[in-house]
Structure 1
């Protein structure tokens, strides 16, 4: 089973109407040499995103990868700087650091499948500039501990919120805890505009640098120019912004549904020895897009996954550091540690024991090849729970 994220399932007349408005008003472009067009959907989305997530500034980009790159450039990350990232994340988190000539320092995850704050602190050196907290599979990192570490060492916290748009931690939106938060709007995310991304920040200086970098180094015209910045064209197209505006207005509805489906699915799967649920740092704040179980033994996890026609998280695609060989291709700038299994033993162990059931998104690269859909009936959800329970019983007895 392969299906895009839950936002796609909520496409309706609102997205279509916005797209038609763009086609009828081509002159509404956000990108007029730094001068915003208030009627443009790009301008509207940036204003709405700041309001929805409680951030002072938002900067749109053409992808989540571009959002990460923009955030790092805005923060002044450059050649030789070290940025600590988890060994379990999408390849873009690590690649965005490497593209700047900076050094990705891989750190362990724990059974939350997010950064282990204690391991992060062990890997800090005099060259460390930032920590990238990746909220994997719709759930937040331990932001209390990570902020304590970064503040103690004077480091910047950057949040990768690509897989957790709309998630919260202690009642506050993810993406607003660090200096910058980067989001994705690709088809497999909570919300989608076809593709796209955005950056949140409360810092006016970081906002202006981010806005300039994604627009060929042109600073917004409504304020002073900063230092010359070698930028790129990473701007969000107006058509994408039109869809993104309609999607963002549906965020609460999307999350209500994913969380409701996950609650029913979880309640229908009985607890038993030999397997337990993933640790959640804020169960109320996670997005509900995936239900993850960790087995005591990796062999049991692989057998259950095989019975369901899926894989463990360790055996999935480019979210596991050991499967990111393209980062070391000739001509690249990767200068981090070797990307070989065994480099992060605790990460290897957690992922080898983890099986994910999809709720709002099914993606083989996430190891989420079996589960339910966001609009599934109660009968369909219960069937998925029964299949999983039967597979576990067949392996564990």
Structure 2
């Protein structure tokens, strides 16, 4: 089930944790006057800011809390619609709902990211934002989505939970929209079991995000226990333990992506030219994270047959990343029915949720198989493939297994 970072947890992470245990400061806010306090959360934020070229990074407790915080900071709320893809992790939709706004589901194209033409067709007078989800490491078409957002005066937000370390035309994913969100759970590029981050170049949005993630405190709380509270907030803080692991993992990021790229290139070369086989289109081949290799078979029957022989499933049947399988979203099953954003008096739109409502997305996912390169996850349909520790011989063997299965269809 793990993602890339899992395989490279080693002595560096162990040392970070041991140093932290010896210092005994596990809370984000230690004594700034005590040289034993390690400032690992702050260190992580500062290293991401420098490496990614973004002005503000805010470490939080999970990718979901990062999305909720980003949307809260952006001012989304009752009556607002946010366009999200029908192929994404459920948090991309639930985070909208937690802000009392309404997710509007849109089609993906053959990149398995938002279809810009369909996004524009779904804009209504109630639309406030577009959530660009860089699904399974592939950047969205941010040029077209950005142009659409500008044309219609919408916020462009980025969900880069599955694409940490990726880029689009040289700029890091997550840093291009008004706010971006990352995730650091076990399935992601780097991981600390759980964790997340919000990034933005806007100082005002950063201050709002900081207050929301920490009971309304201003960023000045970095060294001050009691200070002015700007808003009523949550407790989405990251602790020093998670940050310590992530500092070590983050310093391996370039090497991780280099290894993923080499593995994927070797595997892909051996299945090129198979009759009827197509590869997912990449909006920026230089910027993807290479965690998965997604292929399309000519039709659903052959895709199902191939997946069964490989011991996996097509993407359509993979689980929690496909809108058809999200019965709690389709039924808007908020824990308190009074919090259903569709029934809020400020909402005047007509968003709907039903199985089969995105035929283009359904057709693509029924023909798609995800081959693991760095993320082994049945929930993504990537139970077959390789991982960071695979030898050249193991990569070659798996590639030949795939070839034989497809050739015998």
Q: TM-score range by the shorter chain?
A: over 0.9
CA contact (8 A) 2:274 2:406 kept: no
What is residue 22 of structure 1 aligned with on the other side? 20
CA distance in 2, matches of 1:237, 1:73: 21
What is residue 96 of structure 2 aligned with on the other side? 97
| Cα shift at 1:222 | 7.1
CA contact (8 A) 1:63 1:184 kept: yes
CA distance in 1, matches of 2:245, 2:38: 15
Alignment deviations for residues 210-244 of structure 1 (CA, whole Å, 9 cap, x no partner): 11111011112279x99842210000111000001
Alignment deviations for residues 105-156 of structure 1 (CA, whole Å, 9 cap, x no partner): 1110001000001110111111111100000111100111111111111111
Report which stretch shifted further, 84-93 or 325-334: 325-334
1:163 aligns with 2:162: yes
CA distance in 1, matches of 2:30, 2:122: 44
**Helix, strand or coil for the counterpart of 2:208?**
helix
Equivalent residues in 2 for 1:214-253 (5 A)?
214-221=213-220, 228-253=230-255
**Helix, strand or coil for the counterpart of 2:282?**
coil
Mark the CA change 1:32 to 1:207 in structure 2 (over 3 Å): closer, same or farther: farther
CA contact (8 A) 1:34 1:218 kept: no
Equivalent residues in 2 for 1:41-120 (5 A)?
41-120=40-119
Aligned-CA RMSD value:
2.1
CA contact (8 A) 1:114 1:135 kept: yes
Mark the CA change 1:237 to 1:30 in structure 2 (over 3 Å): closer, same or farther: closer
CA contact (8 A) 1:323 1:339 kept: no
CA distance in 1, matches of 2:401, 2:114: 31
| Cα shift at 1:79 | 1.1
**Helix, strand or coil for the counterpart of 1:106?**
strand
What is residue 257 of structure 2 aligned with on the other side? 255
1:141 aligns with 2:143: no
Mark the CA change 1:349 to 1:33 in structure 2 (over 3 Å): closer, same or farther: farther
1:357 aligns with 2:353: no
**Helix, strand or coil for the counterpart of 2:245?**
helix
CA contact (8 A) 2:58 2:197 kept: yes
**Helix, strand or coil for the counterpart of 1:221?**
helix
Alignment deviations for residues 74-107 of structure 1 (CA, whole Å, 9 cap, x no partner): 1011111111000000000000001111000111
1:294 aligns with 2:292: no
Equivalent residues in 2 for 1:334-345 (5 A)?
334-335=340-341, 337-345=351-359
CA distance in 1, matches of 2:118, 2:228: 37
| Cα shift at 1:31 | 3.3
Segments of structure 1 that go 5 or more residues without pairing to the other structure are none
What is residue 274 of structure 1 aligned with on the other side? 276
Alignment deviations for residues 28-57 of structure 1 (CA, whole Å, 9 cap, x no partner): 74337999x984100101101111111000
CA distance in 1, matches of 2:234, 2:391: 46
CA distance in 2, matches of 1:340, 1:370: 30
TM-score, scaled to structure 2: 0.92
CA contact (8 A) 1:313 1:352 kept: yes
1:185 aligns with 2:184: yes
Alignment deviations for residues 301-358 of structure 1 (CA, whole Å, 9 cap, x no partner): 1111011010000001110011111232252545464443211110111111101100
CA contact (8 A) 1:85 1:106 kept: yes
What is residue 391 of structure 2 aligned with on the other side? 377
TM-score, scaled to structure 1: 0.94
What is residue 172 of structure 1 aligned with on the other side? 171
The match for 2:333 among 320, 329, 334 is 329
**Helix, strand or coil for the counterpart of 2:408?**
helix
| Cα shift at 1:375 | 1.7
CA contact (8 A) 1:104 1:335 kept: no
Mark the CA change 1:170 to 1:104 in structure 2 (over 3 Å): closer, same or farther: same
